[in-house]
Amino acid sequence: MFVFLKILLTILSVASAFLLIAIIMMQQSKSGGGIGAISGGAAESILGTSATNILIKTTTWLAVIFLCSTLLLGAIMGRVNNSNASVVEKLALPAETAAPAETTAPAEPAPVPEPEK
């Protein structure tokens, strides 16, 4: 279940990101330059005179879709990877579970020779 949802949300995030980039590049800047000026107003000829309204609404919806799918993907990945522990705790975990080093009993101290009289 989680694998299917993870793949679906990844595809949705990537597709919405690329579409968002394309839609933003089609819009004219406030100064009138940019891609819109280079393309000769191709967006207006394709979408009609209300191209700016359509592009603004599409940009808004694509941004919402991108943000929601990315947040859901992060939440799902957090649950799948059991992220109740922090990254530092996950890295420290294998060191703690390793077998402790064998401790040897200290050797008996050598007898101190008695001073000669």
What is the domain count for the chain?
1
Q: Are 66 and 16 in contact (CB under 8 A)?
A: yes
Task: Give, in order, the Cα–Cα distances in Å from 76 to each of 80, 84, 92.
Answer: 6, 13, 24
| Both tokens assigned to 80 | 């799948």
Is 112 among the domain residues?
A: no
- Whether the pLDDT of residue 37 is over 60: the answer is no
> Angle 57-40-54 (CA atoms, 0-180°, nearest 5)?
10
Least confident range of 52-56, 58-62, 109-113: 109-113
Binning the chain into helix, strand and coil, the percentages to the nearest 5 are: 65, 0, 35
- Domain enclosing residue 59, as ranges: 2-82
Is 23 among the domain residues?
A: yes
Is 9 among the domain residues?
A: yes
Amino acid making up residue 106: P
Is 91 among the domain residues?
A: no
pLDDT digits (tens, 9 = 90+) for 78-107: 777 665 666 677 777 665 555 555 666 666
Rounded to whole angstroms, the Cα distance separating 64 from 51 reads 20
- Whether the pLDDT of residue 34 is over 60: the answer is no
Give the per-residue pLDDT at 79.
75
Give the per-residue pLDDT at 13.
96
Is 74 among the domain residues?
A: yes
pTM for the full predicted model: 0.56
Is 55 among the domain residues?
A: yes
Is 114 among the domain residues?
A: no
- Whether the pLDDT of residue 48 is over 90: the answer is no
